[in-house]
Amino acid sequence: MHELSVAQSVLETVLDVARKRGAERVLSVRLRIGEFTLLNPEQLRFCLEVLAEGTPVEGAKFEIEIERGYFKCAECGHRWRPEDESLKDPSLHTAFDLSELTELLDLKCPKCGSRAVKLDGGDACSIESVRLEVPGEQHAQG
């Protein structure tokens, strides 16, 4: 379960932002996770909530937005969405390197048949915003 390690990294970053801004507590954290990261949003939220206990992040609202991903052919430039069902294949969850995903799915470009297929978006996890309670300020954005 890589949700735990991602949650730890997110929490460390959020705590660092809160500390630098002099925040008493964190009100909300908005994350964007790519569907190709194979992160489970519910598990990630659970890990964040558990790890946040006893910190200024405890009680914060975690908003998680899913970024859709595409495949792109390196030969002809065609861009397409995968079948959503193909992303539910349990064997994909063994991919530790996202570049392995195109190999595991045995992808071919639907336009030209090339196997030179790359991920185009949906492969990252980012903190989009952090809402803080800073003494003397009205709900600062971080």
- Where is the binding site, in residues? 2, 73, 76, 109, 112
Q: Are 53 and 140 in contact (CB under 8 A)?
A: no
Contact 125, 33 (CB under 8 A): yes
Binding-site annotation, residues for Ni(2+): 2
Binding-site annotation, residues for Zn(2+): 73, 76, 109, 112
On whether the CB atoms of residues 57 and 11 are closer than 8 A, the answer is yes
Q: Distance from first CA to last CA of the chain, Å, rounded?
A: 28
